[in-house]
Structure 1
Amino acid sequence: MRKRYPIEFSAKIDDVVYYPAEFPLNGTTLKIAFGSKSVAAIILPHPEAENVIVISKNIQAQLKMPELTSQLHLFVENETLFIGPLVGIFTAGFTPFPLRPVGDRSLFFAKLLSVQKSVGVLPFVFGEKHIDWENGLIKGYFYQQKGWEIIEVPFPNVIYDRLPNRRTEKLFELKKVKERLQNDYLIPCYNPGFFNKLEIHERLLQEDALSQYLPETHPFTSFSNIERMLADYGHVYIKPINGSLGFGVHQIIYDKRGGDYYCRYRDEHGKNKLKKFASLEILMRHIFSNQSLSKMLIQQGIDLIRNEKRQIDFRIHTNKDESGTWQVTAMAAKIAGPGSVTTHINNGGAIRTIEEVFPDENDQQAFLEKLTDAALELSKGIEKNIDGFIGEIGFDMGIDRNGRIWLFEANSKPGRSIFKHPRLKEFELLTRKFSLAFAVFLAEQAITKPEEVFK
């Protein structure tokens, strides 16, 4: 595990950087670097053998290193000592209000940035309009005890993509910014883009070890395909290929005895509905008259385990740590609301811990292991099959009545509703820490093994 070191700035020395006594710096080091900036300096071991980084004020000014810098990591390559990482969190939706610079998401970003000292990174939030391309500088939003502060810093070592939605992500200007930073400045970007549900499914289907977790899923092509799946499974789900938060999900149920079709869904007013139809054609015409079925997928229905007659699924968060290894950082059960087609809280769902839904310790341990193993396997499989660097994934999984694990969805920018449960607060903190800890790994790789990162 890499070690972070406290940083001090000194006006008593010029052009000097003292590195920690225990840091293994061998040979000649002539430069000091912070983000994209580097300057010549006299680099010496700490004169009093302390494990502290001391930087002269004039070097600090040349590097554009903020005074608020507290604890960072050290990397050495090509006779240069790198201090960092400086992490740029790229987003959109900025406002002119100093207390809420990113609108409703300002609290989320403030909490994310608050873990910087314990992780050993210096993170800031920025958007397209904050970049000074000519001078290689960014006016970044930093969060301190007193609140938000705008400070000009060099281009970062790594970029964490936190664009808020698919619509923003598709904007030409924002695509060009990311491409330019990655291609022209060789800054690695992690978590680039929202997942396409169908694409993820099709790629994982090619992996024999992972296909066991995948329910039968197809793009909408014809009513006859739905009829065949209803005959096989009794019920199916129709979902938007690029949907989120449970919006637009419909469950279609076929009653073999009566020959009727039922559709469970949430209407535009937020009410849960269950309607009966004499045929699939009438159902589809009535329910989907205003929707483009070409943007929908059909997924096998599964008889999930239940809690008080309400179906349960599970949200599992995985993150890469500062060694680049996948870890499960949070897990919770989500229980469907009465009459709801999904387990989302906005549909009346409830969050429970694993202990609450499995009071028997043997069941608890068995399902915990099964879900953990599946989430880690799937994380590695997605990483292998998707371009770019992925640092976190949120999985929606189910357990059927035979104890088999199923993957329903994987999200590259998972929601955080499960953390409203009081006993999941520590895991919420863990996911924030790991979100930035991966930047330490990626920065070190970009500095010491650029040929692997930018191949």
Structure 2
Amino acid sequence: MRKRYPIEINLELSKTVYYPAELQPLLQSADRIAFGSRSCEVTLKAHPQKQNRIVISSDVKEELHFPNLNIPLHVFYENGTLFLGPLVGIFTSGFTPFPLRPIGDRSLFFSKLLSVHKTVGVVPFVFGEQHINWEEGIIEGYFYQKNGWERFNIPFPNVVYDRLPNRLSESRKEQQMVKERMQNEYLIPWYNPGFFNKLDIYDKLYNDSTVYKYLPETVPFTSFSHIEGMLSHYNSVYIKPANGSLGLGVHQVLYDRDEDLYFCRYHDQQGVKRLQKFSSLENLMKHVFQNRSLGNMLVQQGISLLKMENRSIDFRIHTNKDANGNWQITAIAAKIAGLGSVTTHVKTGGVIKTIDEIFTKEEKNHYLPKLKEAALKLSHALEKQINGNLGEIGFDLGIDKDGQIWLFEANSKPGRSIFTHPQLKDFDLLTRKLSIAYAVFLTEKAIHTPEEVFR
């Protein structure tokens, strides 16, 4: 079982580290100490007063670039080296010159993310590619302290948590170079790499017998006739960007057999809800999509979902890897579509509800286990199919009128709008804690069994 120890800096010692006596069987042959990518030779001794803490001489602190942040840390031992940590780098972009808001509008999110450091036992910091000194092996990292944001020079981290904000940022060659160098040259595990492509995810899951039943028919746009065929079978389809997010660009197309008319529900570029009818699918496509490229669009089976006050309901479920590398359900919330809206997103009038607010006790006992089972099965299935280390996923799931669970989207960097609901604050904290705690697991693996991390 892992233990954490307080770290104390001693100004009188030289090149010396004291450790708790209980670690003596483990550390009796140790002669080095490491923090992040830095290590140095030291004299390691059991604490003379048998105190349950680690004491580092000030010269060792300086050599390791160890920031004295009063955080009890984990210890790991391998090949004569005592490792303290983990040091967790949170990689992002969008930095500003303003000390109070160094990451712009996302500064509040990152300050809350870093605030879990003491309960998890890690040293987390935020950085971008411009803060790396490759020659010195040093990063000018952003830390959130009691008095606000501070910057310290620290070593390269044990692991990197990818929090790039969007696909455009992710595609920049500078960001890709950082990831490649840290993984390949420095063997630093990198988790949550890359935004998901909806069609790619569908294709990866399609042949997995454990999750196939959750997948609505989803195909790339190829022709009007294909959409006609799906409409004749399902009555409605969704046309949406394969790389979209936040519900942007989603169109619902419906076919009324009795009147032989086609309807399209969507939000225009000004965010106004639109519902238009057409005599033919060809007219609908030419009018609604006249200024859009259909080459990157997908067509998805429409599903008659459970409703509340005649408004469709879907469910956001977060899963996270914990400090033992196991998937956990960390948040569940219902999203109620805005009146006349094509999606359940808050920006288009959607409303966040807790499970208890929408289900009776009997309904909750029936549906909640099914939602949890689906989310965990999908997490395991995606982990097998995705290159790299997945640490968190946000699923958008639906339940149809027959009780069948459906997967609409999987998000590698899930939004956090559900946590605006006052009764979901505990979920908010749990997702933040586990998204950082997973770094402890990856650090331990990288130290003891790196072949399992860099397979």
TM range (shorter): over 0.9
Residue 39 (structure 2) pairs with residue 38 (structure 1): yes
Could you tell me how far apart the structure 2 residues matched to 1:368 and 1:4 are?
36
Aligned partner of 1:78 in structure 2 is 79
- Deviation of residue 46 (structure 1)? 2.3
Structure 2 counterpart of 1:364, one-letter code: K
1:69–1:122 contact (8 Å) kept in structure 2? no
Structure 1 residue matching 2:22: 3-state secondary structure: coil
Aligned partner of 2:207 in structure 1 is 206
Alignment of 1:341-420 (within 5 A): 341-359=342-360, 361-420=361-420
Structure 1 counterpart of 2:90, one-letter code: I
Could you tell me how far apart the structure 2 residues matched to 1:342 and 1:261 are?
19
- Deviation of residue 42 (structure 1)? 1.2
Aligned partner of 1:64 in structure 2 is 65
- CA deviation string 1:261-320 (max 9, x = no partner): 000001111111111100000000000001110110000000111111111000000000
- Deviation of residue 69 (structure 1)? 4.4
Over 3 Å counting, the alpha-carbon distance change for 1:262 and 1:187 in structure 2 is same
Alignment of 1:246-285 (within 5 A): 246-285=247-286
Structure 2 counterpart of 1:368, one-letter code: L
Alignment of 1:130-141 (within 5 A): 130-141=131-142
Alignment of 1:70-219 (within 5 A): 70-219=71-220
Moved more, 54-63 or 381-390: 54-63
Structure 2 residue matching 1:414: 3-state secondary structure: coil
Structure 2 counterpart of 1:437, one-letter code: A
Structure 1 counterpart of 2:399, one-letter code: I
Aligned partner of 1:232 in structure 2 is 233
- Deviation of residue 25 (structure 1)? 1.6
Residue 7 (structure 2) pairs with residue 11 (structure 1): no
2:335–2:345 contact (8 Å) kept in structure 1? yes
- Deviation of residue 7 (structure 1)? 1.2
Q: How many residue pairs end up in the alignment?
A: 454
Residue 423 (structure 2) pairs with residue 423 (structure 1): yes
Structure 1 counterpart of 2:268, one-letter code: D
2:27–2:82 contact (8 Å) kept in structure 1? no
- Deviation of residue 6 (structure 1)? 1.4
Could you tell me how far apart the structure 2 residues matched to 1:373 and 1:54 are?
46
Could you tell me how far apart the structure 1 residues matched to 2:2 and 2:315 are?
33
Could you tell me how far apart the structure 2 residues matched to 1:120 and 1:362 are?
40
Could you tell me how far apart the structure 1 residues matched to 2:268 and 2:82 are?
58
- CA deviation string 1:121-170 (max 9, x = no partner): 00111111111111100001111010111100000000011111000100
Structure 2 counterpart of 1:446, one-letter code: A
Could you tell me how far apart the structure 2 residues matched to 1:2 and 1:319 are?
20
Structure 2 counterpart of 1:383, one-letter code: E
Structure 2 residue matching 1:193: 3-state secondary structure: coil
- Deviation of residue 26 (structure 1)? 4.7
Structure 2 counterpart of 1:181, one-letter code: M
1:319–1:328 contact (8 Å) kept in structure 2? yes
Alignment of 1:266-345 (within 5 A): 266-345=267-346
Q: Runs of 4 or more off by more than 4 Å in structure 1?
A: none
Structure 1 residue runs of 5 or longer lacking an equivalent are none
Structure 1 residue matching 2:211: 3-state secondary structure: helix
Could you tell me how far apart the structure 1 residues matched to 2:379 and 2:49 are?
46
Aligned partner of 2:450 in structure 1 is 450
Structure 2 residue matching 1:22: 3-state secondary structure: helix
Could you tell me how far apart the structure 2 residues matched to 1:2 and 1:370 are?
33
TM-score (norm 2): 0.98
Could you tell me how far apart the structure 2 residues matched to 1:28 and 1:43 are?
9
